[in-house]
């Protein structure tokens, strides 16, 4: 869907490879932490060079760091981002983290949940997917009301069925086959999962 949305000019993605901003002949992007400790950190120079490159491409873009803490992503934020018309740059961390001086170059930190992953790429993809599907025209023929039912927080989700009418004796509620739209709406209101 994201690929199709870009082809249709509804959204535009650009990938920046941190390695292109690495230091020295080995294009180094990571180093050991001062004061000791396990593992490696992303160095501030390549990170800031990459952010500044992104800023040249999109001067007004908000810079978001995907991180295991702070603000947790939700449907309300997805709706805000989708409606904002702003550009966004997502920084995806790796290793054990990043040099703290990167913070100066970040507008917001966002987490997709209270768990740690090896990199920020999947969180960034999650955020991007949740925003792009809300851009008008991305999901063919979808109504804004359907979007609202999720973003209102109280999930107005009702059970849905498609063919067959009878699966191993489990039947589709007959009201849904009745064609009576008032009755169907009533049934759906009464059967919200909540
Ligand atoms: C920044 C600092 C996001 C980014 C440290 C990123 C989980 C989430 C990372 C790290 C992430 C989330 C490698 C610990 C990358 N993990 N929940 N990992 N680590 O959104």
pLDDT digits (tens, 9 = 90+) for 5-31: 999 999 999 999 999 999 999 999 999
**Chain segment 72-112, per-residue pLDDT in tens:** 999 999 999 999 999 999 999 998 999 999 999 999 999 99
Q: Check residue 164 and give its pLDDT.
A: 98
- Residue-wise over 127-152: b if at least 16 C-beta within 10 A, else e? bbebbbbbeeebbeeeeeeebeebee
From the CB of 116, is ligand 1 less than 6 Å away?
Answer: yes
| pLDDT for 56 beyond 60 | yes
Residue 1 is predicted with a pLDDT of 94
pLDDT > 60? residue 38: yes
Report pLDDT for 145.
43
Task: Quote the ligand 1 centre to 11 CA distance (angstroms).
Answer: 25
- Check residue 140 and give its pLDDT: 78
Name the residue at shortest CA distance from atom 20 of ligand 1.
Answer: 111
Q: Quick check: CB of 115 below 6 Å from ligand 1?
A: yes
For residues 62 and 55, the answer to whether their CB atoms sit within 8 Å is: no
Q: Using the predicted structure, report yes or no on whether residue 117 has a pLDDT greater than 70.
A: yes
Place of tokens 């001062």: 34
What are the tens digits of pLDDT across the range 128-176? 999 999 999 999 766 654 555 565 554 569 999 999 999 999 999 999 9
pLDDT of residue 70: 77
pTM of this structure: 0.92
Terminal-to-terminal C-alpha distance of the chain: 28
The pLDDT value given to residue 118: 97
CATH number of this structure's domain 2-132, picked from the four choices 3.40.1280.10, 3.50.50.60, 3.30.70.1050, 3.90.550.10:
3.40.1280.10
Best residue for ligand 1 mutational test, from 64, 67, 111 (most atoms within 8 Å of Cβ): 67
In this structure, which residue's CA is closest to atom 10 in ligand 1? 97
What whole-number percentage of the chain has pLDDT above 90?
A: 88
For 73-78, the CB contacts below 8 A with 24+ separation are 73/110, 73/111, 73/112, 73/113, 73/123, 73/126, 73/127, 73/130, 75/130, 75/150, 75/151, 75/153, 76/151, 76/153, 77/110, 78/127, 78/130, 78/131, 78/134, 78/151
| Residue 68 CA to ligand 1 centre (angstroms) | 4
Mutate to test the pocket of ligand 1, among 66, 72, 74, 113 (most ligand atoms within 8 A of CB): 66
CATH superfamily ID and name for 155-190: tRNA(m1g37)methyltransferase, domain 2 (1.10.1270.20)
Here the tokens at position 145 are: 């009301």
Per-domain residue ranges of the chain: 2-132, 155-190
pLDDT, position 69:
83
56 CA to centre of ligand 1 in angstroms = 26
């Amino acid at each position: 869907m994201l690929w199709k949305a870009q082809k249709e000019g509804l959204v535009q993605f650009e990938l920046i490879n941190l390695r292109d901003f690495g230091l020295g002949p080995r294009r180094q992007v990571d180093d050991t932490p001062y004061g000791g400790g396990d593992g490696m950190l992303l160095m501030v120079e390549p990170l800031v060079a990459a952010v500044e490159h992104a800023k040249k491409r999109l001067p007004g873009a908000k810079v978001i760091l995907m991180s295991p803490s702070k603000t947790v992503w939700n449907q309300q934020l997805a709706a805000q981002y989708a409606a904002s018309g702003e550009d966004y740059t997502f920084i995806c961390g790796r290793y054990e983290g990043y040099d703290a001086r990167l913070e100066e170059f970040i507008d917001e930190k966002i987490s997709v949940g209270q768990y740690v992953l090896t990199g920020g790429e999947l969180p960034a993809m999650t955020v991007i997917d949740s925003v792009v599907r809300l851009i008008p025209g991305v999901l063919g023929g979808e109504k804004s009301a359907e979007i609202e039912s999720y973003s209102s927080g109280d999930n107005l989700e009702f059970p849905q069925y498609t063919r067959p009418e009878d699966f191993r004796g489990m039947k589709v509620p007959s009201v849904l086959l009745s064609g009576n739209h008032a009755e169907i709406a009533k049934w759906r209101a009464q059967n919200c999962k909540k």
